[in-house]
Amino acid sequence: MPANPTPEPPEGAAPPADEQGARAGGTADGPPVGQPSGAAPAEAVTPLIRGIAVLRELTDANGTLSLSALERATGLARSTVDRITATLARMGYVRVDGRDVFLAPRLMELGNAYLAALRLPALLSPHADALADELDESVSLAVADRDGIRFIHQATRRRAMSLSFRIGDLLPAERTAPGPLFATEWTAAHWQRWRERRAADPRDLSYTAVPPRTRGPAPADDEDFVRRTEEASANGWALDDQLIEPGLVAISVPVRAGDGKVACVASVVSHTSRHTARGLRETLLPRLRSAVTRMEEELHRTPPPEPGPRPADLALWTGASKLQLGRDFVESLARGLTVLTAFGEGRPRLTLTEVAQATGLARATARRALITYEHLGLVTTADRTFTLTPRVLSLGFPPLSRTTLPQIAQPHLAALTSRIHESTALAVLSDAVLSDAGEEIQYTARVATGRVMSVNITVGTRLPAHATASGRVLLADAGTPVHTNGYALVDEELEEGLRSLAVPIRDRQGRVVAALSTAMHASRHSAHECVTALVPELTATATHIESDLHTASRFTHVPLT
Protein backbone atom coordinates (compact mmCIF):
# COMPACT_ATOMS: atom_id res chain seq x y z
CA MET A 1 0.00 0.00 0.00
CA PRO A 2 1.72 3.25 -1.07
CA ALA A 3 2.38 5.83 1.57
CA ASN A 4 0.61 9.17 1.52
CA PRO A 5 2.37 11.82 -0.51
CA THR A 6 4.27 14.62 1.16
CA PRO A 7 1.74 17.39 1.96
CA GLU A 8 1.68 20.19 -0.59
CA PRO A 9 2.17 23.79 0.50
CA PRO A 10 -0.85 26.05 0.03
CA GLU A 11 -1.10 28.01 -3.19
CA GLY A 12 1.18 31.03 -3.06
CA ALA A 13 3.45 29.53 -0.40
CA ALA A 14 7.15 28.94 -0.91
CA PRO A 15 7.98 26.05 -3.24
CA PRO A 16 9.28 22.71 -1.95
CA ALA A 17 12.90 22.40 -0.87
CA ASP A 18 14.10 20.90 -4.15
CA GLU A 19 12.65 23.90 -5.99
CA GLN A 20 13.85 26.67 -3.68
CA GLY A 21 16.74 28.59 -5.14
CA ALA A 22 16.28 26.80 -8.47
CA ARG A 23 14.65 29.63 -10.33
CA ALA A 24 15.73 31.70 -13.30
CA GLY A 25 18.79 32.94 -11.45
CA GLY A 26 20.23 29.44 -11.19
CA THR A 27 21.95 27.61 -8.34
CA ALA A 28 25.26 25.97 -7.68
CA ASP A 29 24.24 23.46 -10.32
CA GLY A 30 24.40 26.19 -12.95
CA PRO A 31 21.78 28.17 -14.85
CA PRO A 32 18.54 26.56 -15.99
CA VAL A 33 18.71 24.93 -19.40
CA GLY A 34 16.32 23.80 -22.07
CA GLN A 35 14.07 26.83 -21.79
CA PRO A 36 13.09 29.34 -24.47
CA SER A 37 14.46 32.84 -24.68
CA GLY A 38 13.43 35.03 -21.79
CA ALA A 39 13.54 34.32 -18.08
CA ALA A 40 11.27 31.66 -16.65
CA PRO A 41 8.25 32.90 -14.67
CA ALA A 42 8.87 33.16 -10.95
CA GLU A 43 6.50 30.26 -10.27
CA ALA A 44 8.02 27.92 -12.86
CA VAL A 45 9.41 24.64 -11.52
CA THR A 46 13.08 24.53 -12.45
CA PRO A 47 13.55 20.80 -11.72
CA LEU A 48 10.79 20.22 -14.28
CA ILE A 49 12.53 22.53 -16.78
CA ARG A 50 15.73 20.58 -16.27
CA GLY A 51 14.01 17.23 -16.66
CA ILE A 52 12.45 18.37 -19.94
CA ALA A 53 15.88 19.50 -21.10
CA VAL A 54 17.33 16.03 -20.40
CA LEU A 55 14.51 14.35 -22.33
CA ARG A 56 14.99 16.68 -25.29
CA GLU A 57 18.74 16.08 -25.40
CA LEU A 58 18.12 12.33 -25.40
CA THR A 59 15.55 12.78 -28.17
CA ASP A 60 17.92 14.82 -30.33
CA ALA A 61 20.60 12.15 -29.79
CA ASN A 62 18.22 9.49 -31.19
CA GLY A 63 17.36 8.03 -27.82
CA THR A 64 20.62 7.42 -26.00
CA LEU A 65 23.46 9.36 -24.40
CA SER A 66 26.04 8.69 -21.73
CA LEU A 67 25.62 10.42 -18.41
CA SER A 68 28.73 12.50 -19.07
CA ALA A 69 27.37 13.51 -22.50
CA LEU A 70 24.11 14.57 -20.87
CA GLU A 71 26.09 16.63 -18.38
CA ARG A 72 27.90 18.43 -21.21
CA ALA A 73 24.79 18.86 -23.37
CA THR A 74 22.59 20.33 -20.63
CA GLY A 75 25.21 22.26 -18.70
CA LEU A 76 23.93 20.73 -15.46
CA ALA A 77 26.08 19.37 -12.66
CA ARG A 78 26.63 15.62 -12.75
CA SER A 79 24.81 15.18 -9.44
CA THR A 80 21.76 16.92 -10.91
CA VAL A 81 21.87 14.75 -14.03
CA ASP A 82 22.12 11.65 -11.84
CA ARG A 83 19.07 12.66 -9.78
CA ILE A 84 17.02 13.53 -12.86
CA THR A 85 17.83 10.27 -14.66
CA ALA A 86 17.18 8.28 -11.48
CA THR A 87 13.74 9.91 -11.23
CA LEU A 88 12.96 9.31 -14.91
CA ALA A 89 14.11 5.69 -14.55
CA ARG A 90 11.82 5.22 -11.54
CA MET A 91 8.94 6.49 -13.70
CA GLY A 92 9.89 4.02 -16.45
CA TYR A 93 10.66 6.86 -18.88
CA VAL A 94 14.36 6.05 -19.28
CA ARG A 95 16.60 3.06 -18.68
CA VAL A 96 20.05 3.51 -17.14
CA ASP A 97 22.53 0.81 -18.14
CA GLY A 98 25.90 1.45 -16.59
CA ARG A 99 26.93 4.92 -17.74
CA ASP A 100 24.42 5.13 -20.59
CA VAL A 101 20.84 6.41 -20.54
CA PHE A 102 18.20 5.12 -22.98
CA LEU A 103 14.71 6.40 -23.66
CA ALA A 104 12.12 3.77 -22.68
CA PRO A 105 8.81 3.00 -24.45
CA ARG A 106 6.72 4.10 -21.48
CA LEU A 107 7.80 7.70 -22.18
CA MET A 108 5.53 7.55 -25.24
CA GLU A 109 2.54 7.92 -22.92
CA LEU A 110 3.26 11.66 -22.90
CA GLY A 111 3.07 11.92 -26.69
CA ASN A 112 0.10 9.55 -26.67
CA ALA A 113 -1.73 11.99 -24.39
CA TYR A 114 -1.31 14.73 -26.99
CA LEU A 115 -2.24 12.50 -29.95
CA ALA A 116 -5.30 11.12 -28.15
CA ALA A 117 -6.46 14.61 -27.20
CA LEU A 118 -5.89 15.80 -30.77
CA ARG A 119 -8.16 13.03 -32.12
CA LEU A 120 -6.84 13.40 -35.69
CA PRO A 121 -4.60 10.29 -35.82
CA ALA A 122 -7.37 8.00 -34.63
CA LEU A 123 -9.85 9.40 -37.16
CA LEU A 124 -7.67 10.04 -40.19
CA SER A 125 -4.82 7.51 -40.13
CA PRO A 126 -6.93 4.69 -41.67
CA HIS A 127 -7.60 6.94 -44.67
CA ALA A 128 -3.90 7.82 -44.93
CA ASP A 129 -2.93 4.15 -44.76
CA ALA A 130 -5.46 3.25 -47.45
CA LEU A 131 -4.13 5.99 -49.72
CA ALA A 132 -0.56 4.77 -49.21
CA ASP A 133 -1.64 1.27 -50.22
CA GLU A 134 -3.52 2.61 -53.25
CA LEU A 135 -0.63 4.75 -54.51
CA ASP A 136 2.24 2.60 -53.23
CA GLU A 137 3.82 5.80 -51.93
CA SER A 138 4.43 7.18 -48.44
CA VAL A 139 1.65 9.30 -46.97
CA SER A 140 1.96 11.55 -43.93
CA LEU A 141 -0.21 13.74 -41.74
CA ALA A 142 1.30 16.85 -40.16
CA VAL A 143 0.17 19.66 -37.87
CA ALA A 144 1.55 23.16 -37.41
CA ASP A 145 4.03 23.76 -34.61
CA ARG A 146 4.63 27.50 -34.51
CA ASP A 147 6.69 28.22 -37.66
CA GLY A 148 7.40 24.55 -38.27
CA ILE A 149 5.46 21.38 -39.04
CA ARG A 150 5.37 18.23 -36.95
CA PHE A 151 4.33 14.77 -38.17
CA ILE A 152 1.49 12.99 -36.36
CA HIS A 153 1.18 9.96 -38.67
CA GLN A 154 3.35 8.16 -41.22
CA ALA A 155 2.35 5.41 -43.62
CA THR A 156 5.64 4.45 -45.25
CA ARG A 157 6.63 2.05 -48.00
CA ARG A 158 9.39 -0.49 -47.44
CA ARG A 159 11.94 0.40 -50.08
CA ALA A 160 15.70 0.81 -50.22
CA MET A 161 15.03 4.51 -50.90
CA SER A 162 12.26 5.32 -48.44
CA LEU A 163 10.98 8.09 -46.22
CA SER A 164 12.87 8.35 -42.94
CA PHE A 165 10.80 10.94 -41.09
CA ARG A 166 9.23 9.80 -37.85
CA ILE A 167 6.11 10.70 -35.92
CA GLY A 168 7.00 13.74 -33.83
CA ASP A 169 9.79 14.98 -36.10
CA LEU A 170 9.86 18.78 -36.49
CA LEU A 171 10.69 20.39 -39.85
CA PRO A 172 11.03 24.07 -40.83
CA ALA A 173 7.89 25.22 -42.65
CA GLU A 174 9.72 26.77 -45.60
CA ARG A 175 11.41 23.48 -46.56
CA THR A 176 8.23 21.41 -46.77
CA ALA A 177 5.05 21.08 -48.80
CA PRO A 178 2.70 21.46 -45.78
CA GLY A 179 4.49 24.63 -44.63
CA PRO A 180 2.97 27.07 -47.14
CA LEU A 181 -0.52 25.69 -46.44
CA PHE A 182 -0.15 26.39 -42.72
CA ALA A 183 1.41 29.77 -43.49
CA THR A 184 -1.78 30.85 -45.28
CA GLU A 185 -3.23 31.31 -41.78
CA TRP A 186 -0.21 33.08 -40.26
CA THR A 187 -0.62 36.48 -38.68
CA ALA A 188 1.94 39.28 -38.87
CA ALA A 189 3.36 38.02 -35.56
CA HIS A 190 3.87 34.55 -37.06
CA TRP A 191 5.75 35.98 -40.03
CA GLN A 192 7.91 38.10 -37.74
CA ARG A 193 8.78 35.11 -35.55
CA TRP A 194 9.61 33.10 -38.67
CA ARG A 195 12.01 35.79 -39.92
CA GLU A 196 13.65 36.00 -36.50
CA ARG A 197 14.14 32.25 -36.43
CA ARG A 198 15.61 32.28 -39.93
CA ALA A 199 18.09 34.93 -38.87
CA ALA A 200 19.01 33.16 -35.63
CA ASP A 201 19.39 29.69 -37.21
CA PRO A 202 20.35 30.29 -40.86
CA ARG A 203 21.40 26.68 -41.50
CA ASP A 204 18.50 24.97 -39.68
CA LEU A 205 20.88 23.35 -37.21
CA SER A 206 18.14 23.21 -34.57
CA TYR A 207 16.07 20.92 -36.80
CA THR A 208 17.73 17.56 -36.27
CA ALA A 209 15.32 15.72 -38.61
CA VAL A 210 16.54 17.52 -41.76
CA PRO A 211 19.99 17.95 -43.32
CA PRO A 212 21.45 21.36 -42.47
CA ARG A 213 21.59 23.99 -45.17
CA THR A 214 24.92 24.42 -46.89
CA ARG A 215 24.55 28.19 -46.69
CA GLY A 216 22.55 30.80 -44.82
CA PRO A 217 19.25 32.22 -46.06
CA ALA A 218 19.19 34.69 -48.90
CA PRO A 219 16.46 37.30 -49.49
CA ALA A 220 15.35 35.26 -52.51
CA ASP A 221 14.66 32.27 -50.22
CA ASP A 222 12.30 34.30 -48.07
CA GLU A 223 10.59 35.71 -51.12
CA ASP A 224 10.19 32.20 -52.51
CA PHE A 225 8.39 31.00 -49.37
CA VAL A 226 6.08 34.01 -49.45
CA ARG A 227 5.32 33.26 -53.11
CA ARG A 228 4.70 29.59 -52.39
CA THR A 229 2.32 30.57 -49.58
CA GLU A 230 0.37 32.84 -51.93
CA GLU A 231 0.16 30.05 -54.51
CA ALA A 232 -0.96 27.56 -51.85
CA SER A 233 -3.71 29.94 -50.80
CA ALA A 234 -4.90 30.27 -54.40
CA ASN A 235 -4.51 26.60 -55.44
CA GLY A 236 -5.43 24.70 -52.28
CA TRP A 237 -2.31 22.51 -52.53
CA ALA A 238 1.47 22.90 -52.29
CA LEU A 239 4.60 21.19 -53.61
CA ASP A 240 7.99 20.37 -52.16
CA ASP A 241 10.39 20.01 -55.07
CA GLN A 242 13.58 18.74 -53.37
CA LEU A 243 13.59 21.48 -50.72
CA ILE A 244 14.64 19.15 -47.90
CA GLU A 245 17.21 17.18 -49.84
CA PRO A 246 17.88 16.20 -53.46
CA GLY A 247 15.50 13.58 -54.80
CA LEU A 248 12.71 14.08 -52.24
CA VAL A 249 9.41 15.42 -53.63
CA ALA A 250 6.01 15.82 -52.01
CA ILE A 251 2.56 17.23 -52.63
CA SER A 252 0.20 18.36 -49.86
CA VAL A 253 -3.48 19.22 -49.40
CA PRO A 254 -5.02 20.73 -46.24
CA VAL A 255 -7.57 18.86 -44.16
CA ARG A 256 -9.99 21.45 -42.81
CA ALA A 257 -12.00 21.34 -39.62
CA GLY A 258 -15.65 22.31 -39.41
CA ASP A 259 -14.73 25.99 -38.91
CA GLY A 260 -12.77 25.99 -42.19
CA LYS A 261 -9.35 26.24 -40.55
CA VAL A 262 -6.54 23.85 -41.40
CA ALA A 263 -6.64 20.99 -38.89
CA CYS A 264 -3.73 19.11 -40.46
CA VAL A 265 -2.12 18.56 -43.85
CA ALA A 266 -2.01 15.28 -45.78
CA SER A 267 1.02 14.70 -48.02
CA VAL A 268 2.15 12.14 -50.57
CA VAL A 269 5.93 11.82 -50.53
CA SER A 270 8.01 10.20 -53.24
CA HIS A 271 11.43 10.17 -54.89
CA THR A 272 12.39 11.65 -58.24
CA SER A 273 13.26 8.16 -59.44
CA ARG A 274 9.49 7.45 -59.32
CA HIS A 275 7.83 10.86 -59.74
CA THR A 276 8.80 14.40 -60.60
CA ALA A 277 7.13 17.22 -58.70
CA ARG A 278 5.08 17.96 -61.78
CA GLY A 279 4.19 14.28 -62.10
CA LEU A 280 2.93 14.25 -58.51
CA ARG A 281 0.63 17.17 -59.27
CA GLU A 282 -0.69 15.71 -62.52
CA THR A 283 -1.13 12.07 -61.52
CA LEU A 284 -1.53 11.87 -57.73
CA LEU A 285 -3.12 15.18 -56.72
CA PRO A 286 -6.69 14.13 -57.73
CA ARG A 287 -6.48 10.97 -55.64
CA LEU A 288 -4.95 12.85 -52.72
CA ARG A 289 -7.80 15.35 -52.87
CA SER A 290 -10.36 12.53 -52.88
CA ALA A 291 -8.74 11.00 -49.81
CA VAL A 292 -8.73 14.39 -48.06
CA THR A 293 -12.44 14.78 -48.81
CA ARG A 294 -13.07 11.46 -47.07
CA MET A 295 -10.90 12.59 -44.15
CA GLU A 296 -12.89 15.81 -43.79
CA GLU A 297 -16.18 13.93 -43.92
CA GLU A 298 -14.90 11.62 -41.17
CA LEU A 299 -13.74 14.57 -39.10
CA HIS A 300 -16.99 16.53 -39.48
CA ARG A 301 -19.44 13.70 -38.82
CA THR A 302 -17.70 12.05 -35.87
CA PRO A 303 -18.79 13.54 -32.53
CA PRO A 304 -16.19 14.16 -29.83
CA PRO A 305 -15.59 11.02 -27.77
CA GLU A 306 -16.64 10.63 -24.20
CA PRO A 307 -13.77 11.22 -21.80
CA GLY A 308 -11.73 8.08 -21.27
CA PRO A 309 -10.63 6.83 -17.85
CA ARG A 310 -8.59 9.25 -15.82
CA PRO A 311 -4.99 8.33 -15.09
CA ALA A 312 -4.28 6.59 -11.82
CA ASP A 313 -3.70 8.70 -8.72
CA LEU A 314 -0.04 9.20 -9.52
CA ALA A 315 0.45 11.74 -6.75
CA LEU A 316 0.29 8.89 -4.24
CA TRP A 317 2.88 6.95 -6.23
CA THR A 318 5.29 9.88 -6.44
CA GLY A 319 4.99 10.47 -2.70
CA ALA A 320 5.75 6.82 -1.97
CA SER A 321 8.72 6.91 -4.35
CA LYS A 322 10.10 9.97 -2.58
CA LEU A 323 9.88 8.21 0.78
CA GLN A 324 11.62 5.14 -0.63
CA LEU A 325 14.39 6.78 -2.67
CA GLY A 326 14.91 9.98 -0.71
CA ARG A 327 17.05 12.67 -2.30
CA ASP A 328 17.63 10.58 -5.46
CA PHE A 329 13.97 11.07 -6.42
CA VAL A 330 13.03 14.59 -7.60
CA GLU A 331 9.38 14.63 -6.63
CA SER A 332 8.62 17.99 -8.28
CA LEU A 333 9.87 16.61 -11.62
CA ALA A 334 7.79 13.43 -11.33
CA ARG A 335 4.67 15.30 -10.29
CA GLY A 336 5.13 17.82 -13.06
CA LEU A 337 5.35 15.12 -15.71
CA THR A 338 2.17 13.45 -14.46
CA VAL A 339 0.29 16.64 -15.37
CA LEU A 340 0.70 15.83 -19.08
CA THR A 341 -1.04 12.49 -18.61
CA ALA A 342 -4.19 14.26 -17.39
CA PHE A 343 -5.00 15.05 -21.04
CA GLY A 344 -6.15 12.43 -23.52
CA GLU A 345 -9.13 11.06 -25.42
CA GLY A 346 -12.18 13.18 -24.66
CA ARG A 347 -10.01 15.46 -22.51
CA PRO A 348 -8.41 17.90 -25.00
CA ARG A 349 -9.03 20.99 -22.83
CA LEU A 350 -8.89 20.98 -19.06
CA THR A 351 -9.24 23.57 -16.34
CA LEU A 352 -6.75 23.77 -13.50
CA THR A 353 -9.25 22.06 -11.21
CA GLU A 354 -9.75 19.21 -13.70
CA VAL A 355 -5.98 18.70 -14.03
CA ALA A 356 -5.62 18.55 -10.26
CA GLN A 357 -8.51 16.11 -9.92
CA ALA A 358 -7.22 13.85 -12.71
CA THR A 359 -3.73 13.55 -11.23
CA GLY A 360 -4.48 13.77 -7.52
CA LEU A 361 -2.14 16.73 -7.22
CA ALA A 362 -2.81 19.85 -5.19
CA ARG A 363 -4.01 22.81 -7.24
CA ALA A 364 -0.86 24.74 -6.37
CA THR A 365 1.36 21.95 -7.68
CA ALA A 366 -0.66 21.51 -10.87
CA ARG A 367 -0.70 25.28 -11.41
CA ARG A 368 3.09 25.61 -11.16
CA ALA A 369 3.56 22.72 -13.58
CA LEU A 370 1.15 24.26 -16.11
CA ILE A 371 2.91 27.62 -15.81
CA THR A 372 6.19 25.84 -16.54
CA TYR A 373 4.77 24.00 -19.55
CA GLU A 374 3.29 27.20 -20.95
CA HIS A 375 6.74 28.80 -20.68
CA LEU A 376 8.30 25.82 -22.50
CA GLY A 377 5.66 25.86 -25.25
CA LEU A 378 4.19 22.48 -24.28
CA VAL A 379 0.83 23.91 -23.19
CA THR A 380 -1.35 26.80 -24.36
CA THR A 381 -4.11 28.46 -22.38
CA ALA A 382 -7.33 30.20 -23.41
CA ASP A 383 -10.59 30.89 -21.57
CA ARG A 384 -9.19 29.42 -18.34
CA THR A 385 -8.52 26.04 -19.97
CA PHE A 386 -5.25 24.37 -20.95
CA THR A 387 -4.39 22.42 -24.10
CA LEU A 388 -1.32 20.37 -25.04
CA THR A 389 0.70 21.53 -28.05
CA PRO A 390 2.46 19.39 -30.69
CA ARG A 391 5.73 20.18 -28.91
CA VAL A 392 4.89 17.43 -26.40
CA LEU A 393 5.99 15.03 -29.15
CA SER A 394 9.53 16.39 -28.77
CA LEU A 395 9.77 14.42 -25.52
CA GLY A 396 11.17 11.19 -26.91
CA PHE A 397 8.47 10.32 -29.42
CA PRO A 398 10.47 10.46 -32.71
CA PRO A 399 13.16 7.87 -31.84
CA LEU A 400 10.72 5.68 -29.91
CA SER A 401 8.18 5.70 -32.75
CA ARG A 402 10.51 3.40 -34.73
CA THR A 403 11.01 0.86 -31.95
CA THR A 404 10.50 -2.86 -32.62
CA LEU A 405 9.16 -5.62 -30.39
CA PRO A 406 12.65 -7.21 -29.99
CA GLN A 407 14.01 -3.83 -28.87
CA ILE A 408 11.16 -3.46 -26.39
CA ALA A 409 11.70 -6.98 -25.05
CA GLN A 410 15.52 -7.01 -24.79
CA PRO A 411 15.95 -5.25 -21.42
CA HIS A 412 13.12 -7.30 -19.94
CA LEU A 413 14.78 -10.50 -21.16
CA ALA A 414 18.05 -9.41 -19.56
CA ALA A 415 16.34 -8.78 -16.23
CA LEU A 416 14.55 -12.14 -16.39
CA THR A 417 17.74 -14.02 -17.22
CA SER A 418 19.52 -12.41 -14.27
CA ARG A 419 16.74 -13.57 -11.94
CA ILE A 420 16.23 -17.15 -13.10
CA HIS A 421 19.81 -17.80 -14.31
CA GLU A 422 18.58 -19.41 -17.52
CA SER A 423 18.70 -18.21 -21.12
CA THR A 424 15.57 -16.43 -22.34
CA ALA A 425 14.28 -15.60 -25.81
CA LEU A 426 11.51 -14.02 -27.83
CA ALA A 427 10.06 -15.79 -30.89
CA VAL A 428 7.40 -15.20 -33.54
CA LEU A 429 5.84 -17.40 -36.20
CA SER A 430 8.05 -17.20 -39.29
CA ASP A 431 6.54 -15.60 -42.38
CA ALA A 432 8.98 -17.49 -44.59
CA VAL A 433 7.91 -20.31 -46.91
CA LEU A 434 6.83 -23.26 -44.80
CA SER A 435 9.25 -26.13 -44.48
CA ASP A 436 8.35 -29.78 -44.89
CA ALA A 437 7.91 -29.91 -41.13
CA GLY A 438 5.13 -27.31 -41.23
CA GLU A 439 5.11 -23.91 -39.61
CA GLU A 440 8.27 -22.59 -38.02
CA ILE A 441 9.14 -20.11 -35.31
CA GLN A 442 11.96 -17.60 -35.59
CA TYR A 443 13.88 -16.24 -32.61
CA THR A 444 14.03 -12.43 -32.69
CA ALA A 445 15.68 -11.60 -29.35
CA ARG A 446 17.72 -13.57 -26.84
CA VAL A 447 19.75 -13.17 -23.66
CA ALA A 448 22.12 -16.01 -22.78
CA THR A 449 23.03 -17.13 -19.30
CA GLY A 450 26.62 -17.47 -18.16
CA ARG A 451 26.44 -21.21 -17.48
CA VAL A 452 29.04 -23.62 -18.85
CA MET A 453 26.26 -25.75 -20.32
CA SER A 454 23.59 -23.61 -21.97
CA VAL A 455 21.11 -23.79 -24.82
CA ASN A 456 22.75 -22.69 -28.08
CA ILE A 457 20.03 -20.75 -29.91
CA THR A 458 20.86 -17.52 -31.72
CA VAL A 459 18.70 -14.70 -33.03
CA GLY A 460 17.37 -15.69 -36.45
CA THR A 461 17.28 -19.41 -35.69
CA ARG A 462 14.20 -21.20 -37.04
CA LEU A 463 12.73 -24.34 -35.47
CA PRO A 464 9.59 -26.41 -36.11
CA ALA A 465 6.73 -24.74 -34.28
CA HIS A 466 5.03 -27.93 -33.12
CA ALA A 467 8.15 -29.17 -31.31
CA THR A 468 8.87 -26.02 -29.28
CA ALA A 469 7.15 -24.40 -26.33
CA SER A 470 7.13 -21.03 -28.12
CA GLY A 471 5.62 -22.61 -31.20
CA ARG A 472 2.83 -24.25 -29.28
CA VAL A 473 1.90 -20.97 -27.58
CA LEU A 474 1.79 -19.25 -30.97
CA LEU A 475 -0.06 -22.08 -32.73
CA ALA A 476 -2.70 -22.21 -29.99
CA ASP A 477 -3.70 -18.63 -30.71
CA ALA A 478 -3.60 -19.25 -34.48
CA GLY A 479 -6.33 -21.90 -34.15
CA THR A 480 -4.16 -25.00 -34.27
CA PRO A 481 -5.45 -27.56 -31.73
CA VAL A 482 -2.65 -27.22 -29.17
CA HIS A 483 -3.74 -27.22 -25.55
CA THR A 484 -2.12 -24.64 -23.25
CA ASN A 485 -2.92 -23.32 -19.79
CA GLY A 486 -1.47 -19.88 -20.40
CA TYR A 487 1.91 -21.50 -20.94
CA ALA A 488 3.47 -24.39 -22.84
CA LEU A 489 6.02 -26.89 -21.55
CA VAL A 490 7.97 -29.10 -23.96
CA ASP A 491 9.88 -31.86 -22.21
CA GLU A 492 12.75 -33.39 -24.23
CA GLU A 493 10.76 -33.55 -27.48
CA LEU A 494 12.95 -31.37 -29.67
CA GLU A 495 16.17 -32.76 -28.23
CA GLU A 496 17.00 -35.22 -25.47
CA GLY A 497 17.75 -33.42 -22.23
CA LEU A 498 16.22 -30.13 -23.41
CA ARG A 499 13.27 -28.72 -21.51
CA SER A 500 11.60 -25.47 -22.63
CA LEU A 501 8.84 -23.28 -21.28
CA ALA A 502 6.96 -20.40 -22.96
CA VAL A 503 4.18 -17.87 -22.31
CA PRO A 504 2.37 -15.62 -24.79
CA ILE A 505 2.91 -11.92 -25.55
CA ARG A 506 -0.34 -10.19 -26.59
CA ASP A 507 -0.92 -6.97 -28.52
CA ARG A 508 -3.46 -4.23 -27.72
CA GLN A 509 -6.24 -6.31 -29.32
CA GLY A 510 -5.40 -9.37 -27.22
CA ARG A 511 -3.85 -11.34 -30.08
CA VAL A 512 -0.76 -13.45 -29.38
CA VAL A 513 2.03 -11.92 -31.47
CA ALA A 514 5.09 -13.46 -29.85
CA ALA A 515 6.20 -15.96 -27.25
CA LEU A 516 8.57 -15.47 -24.34
CA SER A 517 10.52 -18.61 -23.48
CA THR A 518 13.30 -20.11 -21.46
CA ALA A 519 15.15 -23.35 -22.19
CA MET A 520 17.43 -25.42 -19.99
CA HIS A 521 18.90 -28.84 -19.45
CA ALA A 522 16.35 -31.16 -17.88
CA SER A 523 18.65 -31.87 -14.93
CA ARG A 524 18.36 -28.29 -13.63
CA HIS A 525 14.58 -28.02 -13.22
CA SER A 526 11.93 -30.73 -13.03
CA ALA A 527 8.75 -30.25 -15.01
CA HIS A 528 6.95 -29.45 -11.74
CA GLU A 529 9.57 -26.82 -10.81
CA CYS A 530 9.19 -25.22 -14.24
CA VAL A 531 5.49 -24.71 -13.63
CA THR A 532 5.69 -23.60 -10.00
CA ALA A 533 8.87 -21.49 -10.07
CA LEU A 534 9.44 -20.34 -13.64
CA VAL A 535 5.96 -19.78 -15.08
CA PRO A 536 5.24 -16.91 -12.63
CA GLU A 537 8.55 -15.27 -13.55
CA LEU A 538 7.86 -15.56 -17.28
CA THR A 539 4.29 -14.35 -16.87
CA ALA A 540 5.37 -11.28 -14.90
CA THR A 541 7.98 -10.44 -17.55
CA ALA A 542 5.46 -10.94 -20.34
CA THR A 543 3.16 -8.46 -18.57
CA HIS A 544 5.93 -5.85 -18.52
CA ILE A 545 6.69 -6.40 -22.22
CA GLU A 546 2.99 -6.16 -23.08
CA SER A 547 2.66 -2.91 -21.13
CA ASP A 548 5.48 -1.33 -23.14
CA LEU A 549 4.15 -2.78 -26.38
CA HIS A 550 0.66 -1.41 -25.77
CA THR A 551 2.01 2.05 -25.02
CA ALA A 552 4.33 2.07 -28.05
CA SER A 553 1.72 0.75 -30.48
CA ARG A 554 -1.16 3.07 -29.58
CA PHE A 555 -0.38 5.46 -32.46
CA THR A 556 2.56 3.76 -34.18
CA HIS A 557 3.21 0.44 -35.88
CA VAL A 558 5.60 -1.75 -33.90
CA PRO A 559 7.29 -4.36 -36.13
CA LEU A 560 7.50 -7.82 -34.63
CA THR A 561 10.98 -8.43 -36.03
Instruction: Give first-to-last CA distance, the chain, whole Å.
Output: 39
- As a whole number, mean pLDDT of residues 197-220 equals 86
- At 148, which amino acid appears? G
How many angstroms separate the CA atoms of 434 and 441, rounded?
A: 10
- 289 vs 458, residue with greater confidence: 289
For residue 437, the model assigns a pLDDT of 54
In angstroms, rounded to a whole number, what is the distance separating the alpha carbons of residues 165 and 558? 15
d(CA 224, CA 240): 12
Residue 108's nearest CA partner among 48, 36, 170, 167 is 167
Can you give the pLDDT at residue 32? Answer: 35
Residue 286 has pLDDT above 80, yes or no: yes
Average pLDDT for 429-437: 64
Of 390, 347, 394, 388, the closest CA to residue 369 belongs to 388
Residue 493 pLDDT class (50, 70, 90 cuts): low
> Taking 90 as the threshold, does the pLDDT of residue 399 lie above it?
yes
pLDDT at 486: 87
d(CA 366, CA 352): 7
Q: How confident is the model at residue 533 (pLDDT cuts 50, 70, 90)?
A: confident
* Highest mean pLDDT out of 140-144, 354-358, 469-473: 140-144
Q: pLDDT band for position 324 (50/70/90)?
A: confident
- The upper half-sphere exposure of residue 244, i.e. CA atoms within 13 Å in the direction of its Cβ, equals 26
35 has pLDDT over 60: no
Sorting pLDDT into bands at 50, 70 and 90, what band is 528? confident
* 44-102 per-position pLDDT tens digit: 999 999 999 999 999 999 999 999 999 999 999 999 999 999 999 999 999 999 999 99
Residue among 65, 67, 36 nearest 52 (CA): 36
How confident is the model over 344-367, as a mean pLDDT? 94
Please give the DSSP secondary-structure letter assigned to residue 392.
G
Please give the pLDDT value at position 314: 67
In the predicted structure, residue 140 carries a pLDDT above the cut 70? yes
SS3 145: strand
Sheet containing 238-241: give its strands across: 170-172, 148-155, 138-145, 262-271, 248-256, 238-241
Could you give the angle at which helices 108-118 and 535-552 cross, rounded to 10 degrees?
Answer: 50
Element (H, E) at 342: none
Whether residue 153 has pLDDT greater than 80: yes
Phi, psi angle pair for 403, to nearest 5°: -70, 155
Residue 497 banded pLDDT, cuts 50, 70, 90 = low
**pTM for the complete prediction?**
0.89
Higher pLDDT, 264 or 326: 264
CA dihedral 252→258→261→265, nearest 10 degrees, is -20
Rounded Cα gap, residues 117 and 378, in angstroms? 14
Share the mean pLDDT of the chain. 87
148-155 and 440-447 beta bridge pairing: unpaired
